[in-house]
């Protein structure tokens, strides 16, 4: 019996064969078998676009037409007494026949993690939704442990995984991989596949993978359409009740770091007014005015925020929905909206992150408010003014250090000689900006411990000799302050930042604390 690589999907609980196929026209043909139904459909032959684009239809041979088969075998089996589950095995482009929302989103990857040797991984697909979202595929030349894949388990979402099989139930299989579906080579056929499917269900139901890959479940993207609808409904309620909502908060920010000096303002939706900052109340008022007080998810996903450059030109724009950030609790679970996608966090992990952030020390160094109206103050102008207002403060903003003739870096924005504090300042324009802020403090804190770096610091700023010694450095004598310029938080000294940013802060603050530094937060009002 030859080996066949099968792509296997598991239907959600209480889903039956009749729930699993898309409503297609024409509908797929089918053949009823003893233990299931085989569906198939031949997609119309298509002429490749390159024949027309490059050859100008000079070449038009029927043998060059694409022929595509979509096929899926659906079967419902008893996986435990009184518990029936539906499986789909697809062939060709058969996944296009399926209503994927009715299948378990993580069947493939969880089953894969339970099946494989944790030290013999071949490839991992993952993305980082924080800041400017990144998607990566890492494939190694030889099998290895997860530590070799540069995966940040607190920030990155594992989408797909492939590795060497260790489970003895499928000893004829060598390598398996999985995302929503499981891809596994089988020496089996229609006559004996059902027992293997039953075994796979029980492997999927195991939580062994949590011991093999700790932290892998901290974060997951929400795919369930019913849950997504409920979360969007809560989001709409918060927006429609704004600013009177009491049980949740919504922030707004674009998903990229913009050069501060090139931004002259923003346009919202179809409004012709220029706004000097991205303010949630302004966005809501514009939508209410244009669409007669009605805020819908469709409107949020259609209307945009556009940047106005110094030359008056409109730069690339972003959907309003993709700029909204909120943390919600639904059915006892923590959810976060970021860059247009909802994410669910493991309950204990979310509680740990929030507890760490809420216990972080608050900096009591007085700093002036940043002006917003009538014209938004640039970060550079604010840093100059803040340094001038504080006796003993030294401005470092835009002054770079390059002791190794490599990548220059900024020591901080302001150094406070009264308290030996490296103050880093950033406007809260989203998780990308905050991630940049926290990283800036981390890099600076690491480098300033090097003698060569301190030597250049003193060459550039002799007035810091009483605070920094070229030949000796004790981190515990210094404080790293993250000053966050923020709107809509008038009554709190603790900056109001999204959950994603709290994750970044905890990671970096923990590292800096282990180095000996004191780490503090500072809320700078943007009025």
pLDDT in tens, 140-181: 878 888 888 877 777 777 888 999 888 666 766 788 999 999
Q: What is the pLDDT of residues 205-253, one digit of tens each?
A: 999 998 888 888 788 888 888 899 999 999 988 888 776 654 457 877 7
Question: Mean of the pLDDT values across residues 41-50?
Answer: 72
Query: Nearest 5°: CA angle at 218, between 144 and 123?
Result: 25
Question: Mean of the pLDDT values across residues 312-334?
Answer: 78
Question: Mean of the pLDDT values across residues 494-522?
Answer: 92
pLDDT of residue 247: 45
pLDDT of residue 309: 66
Please, which residues bridge with residue 307 across strands?
Answer: 266
* pLDDT band (50, 70, 90) for residue 31: very high
Residue 316, pLDDT above cutoff 80? no
Spell out a b/e string for 97-119, using b for 16 or more CB atoms within 10 Å of the CB, else e: bbeeebbbbbbbbbbbbbbbeee
Q: What is the pLDDT of residues 248-297, one digit of tens each?
A: 578 777 756 565 556 677 878 777 787 777 778 888 888 888 877 778 89
- pTM higher than the cut 0.75: no
pLDDT of residue 517: 97
How far apart are the C-alpha atoms of 175 and 158, rounded to whole Å?
18
Q: What is the pLDDT of residues 226-237, one digit of tens each?
A: 899 999 999 988
The H or E element that residue 134 is part of is strand 134-144
CB 353, CB 218: distance < 8 Å: no
How far apart are the C-alpha atoms of 239 and 323, rounded to whole Å?
13
DSSP-based three-state secondary structure for 327: strand
CB 79, CB 201: distance < 8 Å: yes
Residue 391 DSSP label: T
Nearest to 159 by CA among 169, 167, 149, 144: 149
Domain regions of the chain by residue span: 4-217, 225-345, 356-525
Q: Residue 414, Cβ neighbours under 10 Å: how many? A: 25
Place of tokens 């030109």: 313
Question: Mean of the pLDDT values across residues 485-499?
Answer: 82
Residue 73, pLDDT above cutoff 90? yes
pLDDT of residue 262: 61
Between the alpha carbon of residue 207 and those of residues 118, 137, 202, 349, 365, the distances in Å are: 14, 25, 10, 17, 48
Residue 39, pLDDT above cutoff 50? yes
Nearest to 158 by CA among 112, 117, 120, 190: 112
Q: Which two tokens stand for residue 369?
A: 């408010």
pLDDT of residue 168: 65
* pLDDT band (50, 70, 90) for residue 111: very high
Question: Mean of the pLDDT values across residues 374-395?
Answer: 90
Strands 263-268 and 66-80: unpaired
Highest mean pLDDT among 202-211, 308-317, 497-506: 202-211
The backbone region for 312, taken as left when phi is positive above 0, alpha when psi lies in -120 to 50, beta otherwise, is left
């Amino acid at each position: 019996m030859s080996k066949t690589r099968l792509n296997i999907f598991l239907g959600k609980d209480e889903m039956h064969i009749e729930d699993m196929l898309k409503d297609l026209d024409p509908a797929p043909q089918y053949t009823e078998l003893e233990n299931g139904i085989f569906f198939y459909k031949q997609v119309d032959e298509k002429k490749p676009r390159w024949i027309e684009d490059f050859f100008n239809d000079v070449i038009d041979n029927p043998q060059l037409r694409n022929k595509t088969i979509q096929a899926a075998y659906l079967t419902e089996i008893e996986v435990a007494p009184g518990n029936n589950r539906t499986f789909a095995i697809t062939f060709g482009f058969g996944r296009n026949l399926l209503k994927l929302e009715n299948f378990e989103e993580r069947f493939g990857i969880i089953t894969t993690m339970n099946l494989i040797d944790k030290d013999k991984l071949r490839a991992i697909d993952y993305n980082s939704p924080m800041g400017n979202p990144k998607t990566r595929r890492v494939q190694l030349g030889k099998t290895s442990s997860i530590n070799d894949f540069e995966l940040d388990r607190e920030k990155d979402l594992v989408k797909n995984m492939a590795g060497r099989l260790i489970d003895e139930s499928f000893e004829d299989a060598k390598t398996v991989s999985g995302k929503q579906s499981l891809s596994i080579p089988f020496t089996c056929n229609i006559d004996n596949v059902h027992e293997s499917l039953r075994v796979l269900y029980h492997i999927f139901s195991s939580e062994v993978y949590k011991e093999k890959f700790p932290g892998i479940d901290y974060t997951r993207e929400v795919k369930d359409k019913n849950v997504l609808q409920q979360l969007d409904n809560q989001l709409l309620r918060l927006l429609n009740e704004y600013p009177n909502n009491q049980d949740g908060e919504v922030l707004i920010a674009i998903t990229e770091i913009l050069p501060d000096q090139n931004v002259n303002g923003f346009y919202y939706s179809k409004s012709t007014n220029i706004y000097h900052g991205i303010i949630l109340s302004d966005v809501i008022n514009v939508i209410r005015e244009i669409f007669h007080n009605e805020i819908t998810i469709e409107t949020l996903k259609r209307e945009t925020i556009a940047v106005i450059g110094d030359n008056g030109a409109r730069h690339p724009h972003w959907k309003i929905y993709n700029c909204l950030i909120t943390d919600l609790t639904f059915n006892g679970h923590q959810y976060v909206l970021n860059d247009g996608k909802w994410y669910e966090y493991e309950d204990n992990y979310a509680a740990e992150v929030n507890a760490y952030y809420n216990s972080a020390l608050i900096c009591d160094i007085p700093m002036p408010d940043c002006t917003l109206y009538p014209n938004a103050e640039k970060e550079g102008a604010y840093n100059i003014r803040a340094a001038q207002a504080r006796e003993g403060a030294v401005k470092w903003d835009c002054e770079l250090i390059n002791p190794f003739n490599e990548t220059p870096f900024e020591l901080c924005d302001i150094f406070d000689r009264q308290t030996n504090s490296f103050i880093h300042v950033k406007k809260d324009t989203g998780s990308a900006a905050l991630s940049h802020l926290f990283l800036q403090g981390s890099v600076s804190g690491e480098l300033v411990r090097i003698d060569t770096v301190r030597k250049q610091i003193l060459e550039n700023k002799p007035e810091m000799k009483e605070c920094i010694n070229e030949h000796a450095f004790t981190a515990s004598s210094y404080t790293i302050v993250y000053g966050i310029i923020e709107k809509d938080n008038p009554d709190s000294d603790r900056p109001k930042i999204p959950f994603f940013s709290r994750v970044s802060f905890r990671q970096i603050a923990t590292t800096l604390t282990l180095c000996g530094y004191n780490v503090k937060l500072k809320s700078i009002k943007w009025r």
